[in-house]
Structure 1
Amino acid sequence: MSACASIRRHSLTSGLPPYVTREQVEERLQLIFPEGTPNRIYCTRQLSASTVFTMIYIGAVQGLDRYLGPIHVYRMTDDQAAKVSDSERVAYGEDLRKKSYVVPGNPWYADNTREPIRDETLREGLVNIGAVIARDDLPTTSSKPRYALLSDFAALFDPKLTDETLSAEISAYQARHLSRSALARVSLMQAGTVAGKSGVMVTFPNGETRRLAPGPSSIISKSVVEYFAQNFLQTPAVLWLSESGNKVVQRDDSLAASIGLQIAADKDLPDLILVDLGPTDPLIVFIEVVATDGPISERRQTALYALTDAAGFNRSQVAFVTAFQDREAPGFRKTMPALAWGSFAWFSSEPHNIVQLNDGRANKRFLTEFF
């Protein structure tokens, strides 16, 4: 019998899951839902830890016939959370809604937190990803508690699970409950966050290699060269690759000259310039890597068009891409409003997909020929 199976059996016979602190819950949520998990912020922030803690506290777990409502979370206090006997835990879960029941201490959250608990943490986060189930026998307007943790998800929080055993159980849970695409996204994100002190080695389309400085921008640049270029271009080549501090890592002036493009270091140049040599008329792709800031904005798009206009390129031969690590990355949320219409957004954690900001003028050739 696995550790989790033993814990589930204990929960059903004792009536409540083993007690665990909110801090321990928050730590484990970070492990269960690593970078790359869809809607990760809704599953791992402190409000999520408070919600999962409270569900464990009152026994709102699949098979125990107890359920949580948002009120259980926002009325919880440090004083109440420190009451660990089964009778105190059950009383909080069952009697909280009675006017005579008094919760000691200061509530963790204001009453108006019920909406983010219900809509974000539960519906968009834990329910959506399959960690929480909701009763389907209640009207949508009912105020009765309706949420419970999936039993094998709840079992991951038992404090007796540690080290290798905990890691094995988490991996098994992820394999059972995260979709194949979600698991692939997590794997890419985890691979993308590993960069040694010696830097990030990038393999170019022609087989040459270059070493970039350690850092998140270099990891995204590597993904652009090794994945984006291969997925979206027929015969890709790298004309320009620079790092922060304007260090030029790759510059192919002879190839640029052969297609009529003169590249001179300029503050408006992006991190990467790719060219697709497969079509009769080559396609120039300007790519800005964003770990924190600096997307392809309207101003920069205009400046780069001036460069290609001067070289005699038709604008149908030019595309603009801003590359991010992930849709959940702070850099994307911060810079999304500044992205230029007619450009594209690409995420290294989902390398086969791309977002088009279509204003009716977007590069239709890029869409039709290279998707």
Structure 2
Amino acid sequence: MMALATRDEVHERLQAIFPEGSPNRSYVTRMLAASSVFVALYIGAVEGSGTFLGPKHIYRMTDEQAAKTNDAERTAYATGVLRGGSHIDGARWYQDNTREPIRDETLREGLVAIGAVTERTDLATTSSKPRYALTRSFAELFDPSLSGEGLQARITAWQNSSLNKGALARLAIVRRGGGTSKDQVLVTFPNGETRSMKPGPSSIITKAVVEVFAPTFLGDPAVVFLSESGNKVVARDDDLARSIGLAIQADKNLPDMILVDLQPEHPLLVFVEVVATDGPVNERRKEALQALVSDAGFPLEHVAFVTAYLDRSAGPFKKTVDSLAWGSYAWFAAEPERLVVFSGKPRRLASKM
């Protein structure tokens, strides 16, 4: 059998293998996932071995059993735990009711979906026989002899060869947004003009909103107003605002960005808040922006509110999701073709949605 890392070591490596931006990251990096991978390695459930993992192997594991690491002891556990009435020394890691989270979240929706675990196709859906195995290339990432740059190189190679294009693109976007580059962020507007913003995750998200969100969800997009942290106005088009009946007042509590879709007979005004840490479109913020629009004489039925994030698996979205206003939208730079609608009524943001 393969050399065995500890469960804590497995847990630590999962954080590096599946960084922020990974699909279903919470499912594949939590301790339940580390337990699942550890036990798969423990019993030798690796692609091509002929040995397979089931939820019972995981929830019946104990610290005492995990300390028995010679091949004979590991093989005996793999087969013995499946027999009714079998005895395992020590207090089990999990109770029987974790069977479903292990099977559905950690394995099927997590590690299987991301390409780290294979599933037998020759068993009936209702069969209780073990059916999962780590892919060999994934299992090799937990070799205890790997460390430092050598480990990181193997992880990067696995990500590039095993993750699908969508997952890789999402990782790249999130890494860029969370980076510490000192370079200015150059934003290209729908009319071809460019503006520089100071470096940071907020500017990365803003760039994505202007360059990706706007042309994806708006028919004929334009930027009416754009600011960055510190209230610096990056762009402001008063002529365009007046042409659609909007009077921008500098002393008002303006959002991070105002977009407009000029394609409909009556233009659609889109208020966007960029959230790198906090500051979503909550109910209070939505009411304040609606008051601004009403004061300007712009019809509320032609207004939309969007909160833009880098990624839905990261902390800022998890921190603010329960405060997002009903009747607003959430958009993620890491999944640019998706839009979350917080509305009791179906409503289209634009004809291209």
Instruction: Give the equivalent residue in structure 1 for 2:187.
Output: 203
Change (3 A) 1:24 1:314: same
Instruction: Give the equivalent residue in structure 2 for 1:32.
Output: 17
Instruction: Give the equivalent residue in structure 2 for 1:173.
Output: 158
C-alpha distance in structure 2 between counterparts of 1:121 and 1:263, whole Å? 50
- Residue 149, structure 1, aligned to residue 115, structure 2: no
SS of residue in 1 equivalent to 2:133: strand
Change (3 A) 1:360 1:72: closer
Instruction: Give the equivalent residue in structure 2 for 1:12.
Output: none
* Superposition pairs of residues 112-261 of structure 1, within 5 angstroms: 112-196=97-181, 198=182, 201-205=185-189, 207-212=193-198, 214=200, 216-233=201-218, 234-243=220-229, 247-250=231-234, 252=236, 254-255=238-239, 256-257=241-242, 259-261=244-246
Change (3 A) 1:212 1:249: farther
Offset from partner CA, 1:186-228 (integer Å, 9 cap, x none): 21111211133x47634252644343364x4443233323432
The CA deviation at 1:268 is 5.5
* Superposition pairs of residues 1-371 of structure 1, within 5 angstroms: 16-98=1-83, 99-104=85-90, 106-196=91-181, 198=182, 201-205=185-189, 207-212=193-198, 214=200, 216-233=201-218, 234-243=220-229, 247-250=231-234, 252=236, 254-255=238-239, 256-257=241-242, 259-264=244-249, 269-276=254-261, 281-360=266-345, 362=347, 364=348, 366-368=349-351, 370-371=352-353
C-alpha distance in structure 1 between counterparts of 2:41 and 2:89, whole Å? 18
TM-score normalised over the length of structure 1: 0.81
TM-score normalised over the length of structure 2: 0.85
Give yes or no for contact 1:253–1:263 (8 Å, CA) kept in 2: no
The percent of aligned pairs where both chains have the same amino acid is: 52
Aligned residues: 348
Offset from partner CA, 1:267-313 (integer Å, 9 cap, x none): 85432223345667543210112344443234433332222222222
The CA deviation at 1:230 is 4.4
1:101 is matched by which residue type in structure 2? H
C-alpha distance in structure 2 between counterparts of 1:164 and 1:331, whole Å? 30
Change (3 A) 1:62 1:267: farther
C-alpha distance in structure 1 between counterparts of 2:122 and 2:75, whole Å? 23
C-alpha distance in structure 2 between counterparts of 1:361 and 1:109, whole Å? 42
Offset from partner CA, 1:89-129 (integer Å, 9 cap, x none): 1122222244353324x333333322211221111111122
Change (3 A) 1:341 1:74: same
Offset from partner CA, 1:50-86 (integer Å, 9 cap, x none): 1101100110112212122222222323332222211
Give yes or no for contact 2:195–2:234 (8 Å, CA) kept in 1: no
1:239 is matched by which residue type in structure 2? F
SS of residue in 2 equivalent to 1:351: coil
1:367 is matched by which residue type in structure 2? A
Change (3 A) 1:360 1:79: closer
Structure 2 residue runs of 5 or longer lacking an equivalent are none
C-alpha distance in structure 2 between counterparts of 1:249 and 1:202, whole Å? 15
2:315 is matched by which residue type in structure 1? P
Give yes or no for contact 2:217–2:350 (8 Å, CA) kept in 1: no
SS of residue in 1 equivalent to 2:138: helix
Change (3 A) 1:223 1:195: farther
Give yes or no for contact 1:238–1:250 (8 Å, CA) kept in 2: no
C-alpha distance in structure 2 between counterparts of 1:346 and 1:266, whole Å? 28
C-alpha distance in structure 2 between counterparts of 1:308 and 1:23, whole Å? 54
The CA deviation at 1:150 is 1.5
Change (3 A) 1:200 1:353: farther
C-alpha distance in structure 2 between counterparts of 1:279 and 1:56, whole Å? 58
SS of residue in 2 equivalent to 1:275: strand
Structure 1 residue runs of 5 or longer lacking an equivalent are 1-15
C-alpha distance in structure 2 between counterparts of 1:342 and 1:54, whole Å? 45
